[in-house]
Amino acid sequence: MKPTLIPTILAQNTEDAFRDIRALGRAASWIHFDVLDHTLVPFESWFDPRSLHLWNVHANIELHLMVNDPVSFFNRCAHLSHLKRILWHIEAPIDHAALLKRCHRRNIEAGLALSPDTVLSRLIPFLENIDEVLVMGVIPGKSGQTLLPHTLKTLQTLSCLVPRLKLGFDGGVTRSNLRSVVRHGATRVYGHSIVFNTKQPDQTLGSLNTFLKTLPI
């Protein structure tokens, strides 16, 4: 399967979130929402499942829960018809196996995210039961950071360790390093600035995914 770029929405209020969704038009088949509540990382973001329901977002929805209690967010969001995947952090102090089972019972894909300073071995007990590992290329929580080079090595190690697993990469992705991120093993690349810091995000997303289709697997 060819790698894909999935747009990330990291909004501070309802208006920003709606603007970004509207800017994507129908160019996105998936939309990735960053959710922060000042617990796991020292930042907060907008997130309102009621608005997502009322807006009738046509794309598949994916949540990246950068929170200490992803279970409570699962409880709030599991009813969303377009919610197809939830990712949360291995650093969150919860029973990961239990939440993985709950997601799968609802036919929602589930994955674990790994921050740059967390050892890869923490993921080992869960690799057989998750649908994706999301490798963070920056300290989570703030858009526009520079990619940390050692995170590409983490990505490459996972690609060799579990070649069947979908691998996401989030943070610091630019046009100049996109090829390298994919070469190190990413099958899903997430980006906010690379898409939304352009005049026409819908066209940008389309052209980036066209570019990714040309890359050798």
Is the pLDDT at 21 greater than 90? The verdict is yes
Is the pLDDT at 143 greater than 90? The verdict is no
Q: Give the ranges where 35-164 is alpha helix by DSSP (H).
A: 49-55, 70-77, 96-105, 150-161
Is the pLDDT at 104 greater than 70? The verdict is yes
Could you give the C-alpha distances from 55 to 16, 47, 81, 100, in angstroms and in order? 14, 13, 12, 28
Cβ distance 31 to 24 under 8 Å?
Answer: yes
Is the pLDDT at 53 greater than 90? The verdict is no
For the segment 176-192, the average pLDDT, to the nearest whole number, is: 97
For the segment 117-137, the average pLDDT, to the nearest whole number, is: 96
Range in 95-109, 132-146, 158-172 with the lowest mean pLDDT: 132-146
Neighbours of 22 (CB within 10 A): 11
